[in-house]
Structure 1
Amino acid sequence: NITVVSFGCLVPLTKLKHGPVDTVIGSIATRIKRTPVQILMRWTLQIGTIVVSTTSKGPRMKEYIQIFDFELSKEDIDAITLAGGSRPEKRTFWSNKKLDLLWSSTLRTGLYFMRKFYLKIPGFLPLKN
């Protein structure tokens, strides 16, 4: 029962331009008279992922909100999924090195915090190794 949240669902159109998804999304957008952004956001929503995006621009916000008044066909969903899967995974926000450093330092901090504070709480029983 875990729902995935997508921060950066527009990366294929913004940071990874001219990839395999562009052609598929472009043809679907033209056919159903929507923008490529709306197609990609709608695809993200229809595969069961929560869409997170930001903007302070009114026209862009209106474009984002309009993803709720149409649906993509199963064939369109499958075509976008297939095109997206044909490209190797690429990190666009964090490098592996930075991510590893973040996780390891977060884990160390969490363990230190737990030992220092939580073990002093009456009734708190730490898990045994």
Structure 2
Amino acid sequence: MPAKPAVKKPTKGGKKGKSKVAAAPLKSKVADVKKVVNPLFEKRPKNFGIGQNIQPKRDLTRFLRWPRYIRLQRQKAILLKRLKVPPSINQFSSTLDRQTASQLFKLLDKYRPENKKDRRARLVQRAKERAEGKPDQPTKR
């Protein structure tokens, strides 16, 4: 391997380049506000190192041996969350009760598109009324 050429580092005195920017004048004038400490409260810092203060109580429920039915229901919940079901299929995972479903179908029936038979009947009726001489009123669409 060829040896790398030695790079000269600039000396301390011969440094050229950026000059330091002076600090903002307002910042130096602002005095540090000391927090008021109540002398009645005594500081007692705890040291949780080995052989020092007793460690604080921690929640160890994660490390328990849980009953089988609890473990199973938790695993099931996790697996169901992992299942990626497309929204178009997932919308059928819950069903409406009978009363709500019947109300919904009644509402949707009003907005159902007109089939050929109904359209023909409507137009024939309109033509008869025009032939009788009644004023023509366009039907609601």
What TM-score, normalized to structure 2? 0.22
What TM-score, normalized to structure 1? 0.23
Structure with greater strand share of residues: 1
Instruction: Please identify the structure whose Cα radius of gyration is greater.
Output: 2
Structure with greater helix share of residues: 1
> Which has the bigger relative contact order, CA under 8 A and spacing at least 6?
1
